[in-house]
Structure 1
Amino acid sequence: MWTLVGGITGALRVIAGASSAVVLMYVIVVPLERADARRGMVTEYRATSAEAERDELRRQVNAGKIVIDAYQVQLRNARAKEEARADEIERRIAENEALRKATGRRCDIDGADVKFLLDTE
């Protein structure tokens, strides 16, 4: 076996070759693999970031829809309240006019007087 390797010089050559292969592996191959892994990680990070941004935009859109729906409910309630108030005023006016008519009294207020009274409130 000793003669097969080539003696001490052959053994030294085998050791030098093995050590240079190990050094080449750590100097060239490992950094290249790390760079490839980093490139893959960058792509993965970009994809994850895009998904997170999309999810945040969806959350904001849904929150906006909830706010819009709440304001629409408030608007419907305010309009219904205003309509009920207007109906109540009309009812009270009709009752007052019916009461005046039943007692035989007249109201000499014309449109200009009503406008004046409403503008001063």
Structure 2
Amino acid sequence: MWEKFAWDSTRKYKITSFTEKIGVIVKTYQKAVDWLDSEEKSWWARAYFDHTCNYDEITNNFSESFNSWILKMRYKPLVQFVDMYNLSLVKLMYERRMVSRELGDDDVVVPIVLHIIKKR
């Protein structure tokens, strides 16, 4: 039963609401509160999350990379887009599998990294 109150307390945005829910757990099962307090509240309770931006710039590199990857197929009709996208994924996975097969068990460093090291 105390698990429900614990999950409810993690979803509270305000510290006062969080304290009320934790108070119910304190009255019923003190060991649970001790267990919850073993970790920082800022790691598991929404009321204690730090909502400030921790970086100077926020980018979405995955979306930018994906959009550049599908540039040729972006304006195709849906069925053609899905077929082309699927084919591209299959080709990519096949090429990566072939590269991985070329690497032996003795190879510790990937060839491109060796090339960069030799270049420097």
TM-score of the superposed pair, with normalisation by structure 1: 0.25
- Structure number with higher helix proportion: 1
Greater Rg by CA: 1
TM-score w.r.t. length of structure 2: 0.25
